[in-house]
Amino acid sequence: MASDKTSEQQAPEAGRDFIRDIVAADLAAKRHGTVVTRFPPEPNGYLHIGHAKSIGLNFGIAQEFGGRCHLRFDDTNPAREEQEYIDAIKRDVKWLGYDWGDNLFHASDYFDQLYAWAQDLIRAGKAYVDDQSQDQIRINRGTLTEPGKNSPFRDRSAAENLDLFERMKAGEFPNGARVLRAKIDMASGNINLRDPVLYRIIHASHPRTGTTWKIYPNYDFAHGQSDAIERITHSICTLEFEDHRPLYDWFLDNLDVPSRPHQYEFARLNLTYTVLSKRVLTELVRGGHVAGWDDPRMPTIAGIRRRGVPAEALRDFIKRIGVAKANSVVDAGMFEFSIREALNRTALRRMAVLRPLKVVIENYPEGKSEELEAVNHPDDASAGSRKIRFARELFIEQEDFAEVPPKKFFRLFPGNEVRLRYAYFIKCTGVVKDAAGTITELRCTYDPATKGGNAPDGRKVKATMHWLSAADAIPAEVRLYNPLFNRPDPSGGEGFTADLNPQSLDVLKDARVEPALKEAKVEQPVQFERQGYFCLDRDSTSQKLVFSRTIGLRDTFAKETAKG
Ligand code: ATP
Ligand code: MG
């Protein structure tokens, strides 16, 4: 096995992307002593491959420039957040190969300070309690072309605001009765500056603070100030927050914060055949469209891992796609490329017959068997070899035989000779069928002179096939995963179910694998020769092995397109 260590310390690459350029310039100009970044997930779902891009960027920059990266849970909405997600997020960041060390934080660590800052804004006449309903607030916010309207509660005295805010905190009012808003400018061209909501009343139990708080800061009020408290230097987020940057700065300008972070925006990852909306991913799980957050068809880090993708492949993909300022959609084939690259290097080769067809070698003595040598990796002699057993009764793949061969079919058909990998040439001499006409068995002969796979007389065969000895082969279930969506641009909204691929999972209950696979370990990649990369699934028991296909040997998406 090649090692899968975390991305090693490397020199920052000048010009690699615009954010690294900014960090390099800031460090060179001594605007900061060290770079401090953060990855700020909201624990309302599992992390997905888009988050991996953000993790790779934030932790990667910290590593490359000798700084640090904080893991900060943006746990400001107890109505949607759960401990399960917090645990999963930590597991996934670690699995990706990153380490936050002692720097694990929560926005909820700062609830007291944030509350005190909100009071400061009230005292300075820069925040007020608004009694309008959510709907009224939305209507009065105006549109892109029309200014908003001032709330009738906008000019409350500081004393009245402080009192109401205190009573909101004490839990005197029901959800939605009042909010705290910043008093900025209802006519601003930037809607985010039209008196944004800072606090809302939520009666719910918070995973960390329990029922202590009845009011919760929203993302905008918590985020920048948390950055300032943690002395984050570069607060890197996705493009949709670009319009929030003036608000991010407004809070820092109007509060007595301990440091002055800056926000930078980059383009989020979008992938063909993939939906990365947390709302849709949650729906896929809740609606039973997949078997859970770590279903191997999910674009979640947990799903990708369970599918057998090494962390190294995900990091390689993140590095290849780079970081840009303009939104784009990455071809899912690119991720597959990184997966195959990593797996081709590391996965040991094994034989498995997914849809078995029995073969009887008529001229091979009954009761006899012999061991043959099979290499574990064609490009890595240090991976060694193993013994595989040849005998009179074998299994081959159903699709490797055709009673009436179509054009250019070079595999087994009556009268044709092929090579069994590591073994002998065999020739088909007969076909046995049941009463319904289904082929149940092939009769073949072998040429003892071709042991090892070559004929002393120099004759050639056009196909080399995988096979197993019937007596040795171990039954297994094999799960063939295909893309979850059947369109390159699936709907990321309401209509997503219409774009689900009905063939995203094909379960083969009657497959056979070679005995060496008894030693397979969960998530450890293996190549089934000629079929693709697979890994043992954790659903396996001592009674039943279950293998999942990580990826086929050739580009899934190119093939799909060619088929039209
Ligand atoms: P939501 O806020 O709707 O729950 P989210 O995907 O933004 O969903 P967060 O937990 O807030 O989830 O995301 C954590 C970080 O990951 C944020 O900084 C966010 O910008 C970044 N991120 C989320 N999706 C992507 C993506 N597709 N590509 C790159 N970064 C992403
Ligand atoms: Mg978010």
pLDDT computed for residue 12 by the predictor: 57
Rounded to the nearest angstrom, the gap between the alpha carbon of residue 150 and the centroid of all alpha carbons in its chain is 44
- Reported as a single tens digit per residue, the pLDDT across 11-25 is 556 558 999 999 999
pLDDT-above-90 percentage for the chain: 93
Of the listed ranges 63-72, 243-252, 301-310, 555-564, the one predicted with least confidence: 555-564
pLDDT computed for residue 556 by the predictor: 75
pLDDT computed for residue 563 by the predictor: 41
Q: Which residues have a Cβ under 8 Å from the Cβ of 467 and sit 6 or more positions away?
A: 351, 353, 359, 394, 395, 396, 420, 421, 423
Nearest-CA residue for ligand 1 atom 6 is 278
Do 193 and 250 meet the contact criterion of CB atoms below 8 Å apart? yes
pLDDT computed for residue 555 by the predictor: 77
Å from CA of 117 to ligand 1 middle: 26
Nearest-CA residue for ligand 1 atom 9 is 41
Nearest-CA residue for ligand 1 atom 25 is 50
Nearest-CA residue for ligand 1 atom 2 is 42
Mean pLDDT of the residues in the chain: 95
pLDDT computed for residue 554 by the predictor: 86
C-alpha 403/C-alpha 430 separation (Å) is: 10
The more confident residue out of 449 and 563 is: 449
Q: Compute the average pLDDT of residues 322-331.
A: 94
Question: What would the two tokens of residue 509 be?
Answer: 């209950």
Looking at residue 312, the DSSP 8-state letter turns out to be H
268 is catalytic: yes
C-alpha 65/C-alpha 17 separation (Å) is: 14
Pocket of ligand 1 (CB under 6 A): 40-42, 44, 50-51, 53-54, 74, 237-238, 268-269, 276, 278
- Reported as a single tens digit per residue, the pLDDT across 79-130 is 888 999 999 999 999 999 999 999 999 999 999 999 999 999 999 999 999 9
Å from CA of 300 to ligand 1 middle: 12
Q: Compute the average pLDDT of residues 402-420.
A: 97
Q: Compute the average pLDDT of residues 246-271.
A: 98
Å from CA of 51 to ligand 1 middle: 6
Instruction: Say which of 268, 319, 358, 421 is annotated catalytic.
Output: 268
For the residues of 149-179, what is the DSSP string, one character each? Answer: ---TTTT--HHHHHHHHHHHHTT-S-TTS-E
Q: Which residues have a Cβ under 8 Å from the Cβ of 259 and sit 6 or more positions away?
A: 228, 229, 231, 232
560 is catalytic: no
Do 178 and 130 meet the contact criterion of CB atoms below 8 Å apart? yes
C-alpha 114/C-alpha 204 separation (Å) is: 19
Strands 393-397, 385-391: pairing is unpaired
pLDDT computed for residue 3 by the predictor: 41
pLDDT at 4 over 90: no
pLDDT computed for residue 11 by the predictor: 53
pLDDT computed for residue 467 by the predictor: 98
Ligand nearest to the CA of 75: 1
38 is catalytic: no
User: Which string of b and e fits 346-373 if b means at least 16 CB within 10 Å?
Assistant: bbbbbbbbbebbebbbeebeeeeeeebe
pLDDT computed for residue 13 by the predictor: 63
pLDDT computed for residue 557 by the predictor: 76
Task: Name the pLDDT band for 564 (thresholds 50, 70, 90).
Answer: very low
